Amino acid sequence: MYVYLNDRLVPRAEATVSVFDHGFLYGDGVYETMRVYDDVVFMLDEHLMRLFRSATLIGLTIPLDAERIRAAIYDTLSANSLKNAYVRLTISRGYGPIGLDPDLCSTPTFVVIAEEMKDYPKAFYVKGISVIIAKTKRNLSDAINPQIKSLNFLNNILAKIEAKREDAYEAIMLNGSGYLTEGTISNVFFYRDDILCTPSIGCGLLDGITRTVILDLAVREGLMVREGEFGKKDIHAAHEVFLTNTTMEVMPVFQVDEVRYNVGDVGKLLRKAYREEVNAYVRNMKGRGPSLWGYE
């Protein structure tokens, strides 16, 4: 296995980062995760735009431009002979003396990891997964901007620990006002009274790329959609619930806390529509020929 580290591909055993890296010391950095279908990174431009937005919001200058990052990603996939993969792109503040001052780090650390995409168990999509609403609240938006896809994940980890204690797969967090935000690694949708509902960005959540695609597909399929403020009672009263993210795509939920749901038709419809969208995107990108990789 090869990892892209800073400016070159290196064998996995040589892909090391200093213990003085501020990503390790303080979680100071940003990242993106992407899914690759048949040699094509899905929604790569959108992921890179969000990456640069996150970096700007923490005052981090990314050492490569978008085209060089694109090249690094595809070089990593090629070096590992991967056609269907999971890609993790990480940029930390970099090496520097101990201390919080960002100016202590002169050069960010850039890493691309690509691994074979292992599908979730089929039973998850047939029967759904269990979810809890965590006691751990989502970070306040005016403390840490949720539009930053940050390396500092302790808030989410604490909620995940709660889920594991309850033998649940995922946890949904509430904001300080008691409204639903997002899961530890996912966005939340539920269907109630013929309306597809999802928490609004203003509730304090990351604008997931899969979330955006699903909202567009729902409108295209003629569904009534509402983004807004929702509490526990709203999701507990839903007819069906599902989660979305880059790797799981559209994942049905059979239980939230003690409330159980059927794996419903709306989730099935949108999962099918999402896969069709992915296939169309891949065909379109492959049709561009060499420009697929963003460089000749």
Could you list the active site residues? 149
Q: CB atoms < 10 A from the CB of 187, how many?
A: 24
Backbone phi and psi for residue 55, each to the nearest 5 degrees, phi listed first? -60, -45
Is 28:93 a contact under the CB 8 Å cutoff?
A: yes
CA distance 216 to 159: 29
CA distance 295 to 219: 35
Q: How far is CA 259 from CA 106, 239, 288, in A?
A: 51, 10, 48
Expressed in angstroms, the distance from the first to the final Cα of the chain is 25
Tokens of 83: 């056609």
CA distance 151 to 22: 10
CA distance 209 to 230: 21
Which spans in 138-254 are helix H? 154-165, 209-220, 232-236
Tokens of 99: 């201390």
